[in-house]
Structure 1
Amino acid sequence: MSAAELFKPDRIAATGQGPLYMRLRRVIEDAIANGSLQEGEALPTERDIAERADLSRVTVRRAVDDLVKQGRLIRRHGSGTFVAPPVSRVEQTLSLLTSFTEDMARRGLSARSQWLERIVVAPSPEEMMVLGLSLGEKVSRLERLRIADDVPMAIERAAIIESFLPDPLEVTESLYEALALRGARPTRATQRISARNVDERSAGLLKVAPGEAALFIERVSYLPDGRVIEFTRSIYRGDAYDFVAELKLPQR
């Protein structure tokens, strides 16, 4: 489909209700999804799109900015704006208790973390309740952006009882490996998964648009003797993760 056809004013109008920049964004998203715009293909300049679609350049810039933040488009200085490679979806089973590092290694992906916080602090009221802490006890809090093959996948915020991890700086890659070295690797966990829309801070870290759908996961992990050791809250990109559970019929 030619640029003249793709950005016709009536095509923008046909996308339904909402601000003009959102309608234009949907047109570009649909064109990427149906193959009218291919991976690596250059978009017309913002001025050309504005003229063809009968929109202001401010409107076009906002639509393009949103798609760049989502990772659907890439800006290359001096070259223009191009359709980005698709984000590979990762499938994770819910039947095994594994770390992000282990999950990515099994899939042949290169995993790394960008640390946002590694400190020992007083627990929040929710952390006190979940971890069964008393007044005066502390937690090691670790927050990081989890990245696979240079694509931000999740924001993970873990609270570990301080007695099991007195120095959070001991964790360099895998939290569970660090806990295993201290004889405190969890062996089971419960997880609660819900759908949420990401706020502006999380969207910026995950390179998606604010308000984008994401998976919010709360995990409580236990030692073999039943003691709680970990309370983790994570935000996973909705366009990059699938969680799979195996179901069995109950025995009659």
Structure 2
Amino acid sequence: MNKLLKYNQAKYEILNIIATDKLKVGDCLPSERDLSSRFNFSAISLRRALKELAEQGYVEKRHGSGTYLARPVDTWEKKGEMLFLEIVKTDTPPTASTYQVREFLRERNIDLKILTAISPDTNIANAASGCIGIFVSGMVDAEWITFLKMLDLPMIVVGSNAFMRSIPTVAWDWEKAANMMVKEFVRRGHRKIGLITGAKEYYPSHLIYNGFCKAMGKAGIKFEERQILWVPDGLSYEVISDYLNNDSDYDAIMLEPGPLLQFQICCWGRDLARKPELGVIGVIGYHKPSEKVLAMSFGKSAYLAAAETFFESLNRPGYFKEPVLIEPVLIRNSEERMRLQKN
């Protein structure tokens, strides 16, 4: 965020606080001391930001009383624009989650452009021109990283990727989720555990595999590679069917939500040696696919977490020394799910 002037960074942080605290017209903003404690800006930058907002009629400073919101944020002249770039394999519309980010930023006086692209081109560079930052999701590779760095704009990648130790990234902690699921299976007495994960070119699949292998090794359980199934795009039914034909005698099987339906179809009418306990990792929110299925949830959308992180990282140069990983939560039953939803 160092490409923005300090007082402009402070203005965006003030907007974030107005939205986060759900302030309405006539409500008093936190004091300058409170604002200073909530973000890392000098008193000079903060006062200049408040002075400019007051001169524009957006806030009102009352002597001896404080600063008050004078106009709804959605009536303010837009002061910023960001780009959300989704990298896709084929010409497909953007995921619905990008529109959650648009609404989040709208409440903070920032417009969001949304683009999908298969390969780098000048249209992306033109769209990024004048933006204060970029969100990126999808199949990020070395070519894309080189291109995005050339744009010389603050960037946050949404989702696990091979470069997440060197570029700002916000993602679900897939490795920890897989590790926790295996530990829960072992706690329940399961020894022969299968894994059905995504395509090999899908980076989270490797994190899931790593978490699985580490947990099995720590538990002292030997396993064969045939217990692991990598599911290529578009071939779920065929490869899952072959997997079960080769061996269907499992205590438990861990899988992602994507292959779950095809797995259930493959099991329909099949004479399994025994019915394995299922564990699904990566379910959205606290949704649970079945009362008889363990679920590993991520309580927060990675997209919304990235938008929040954009503001949290303002004027904090060392914020992204490590990727920001969203913790998994194990849901064993409906009571646990209800408790988590209330929290």
Q: Counting strand residues as a fraction of each chain, which structure ranks higher? A: 1
TM-score by length of 2: 0.25
Q: Counting helix residues as a fraction of each chain, which structure ranks higher? A: 2
Highest CA radius of gyration, 1 or 2? 2
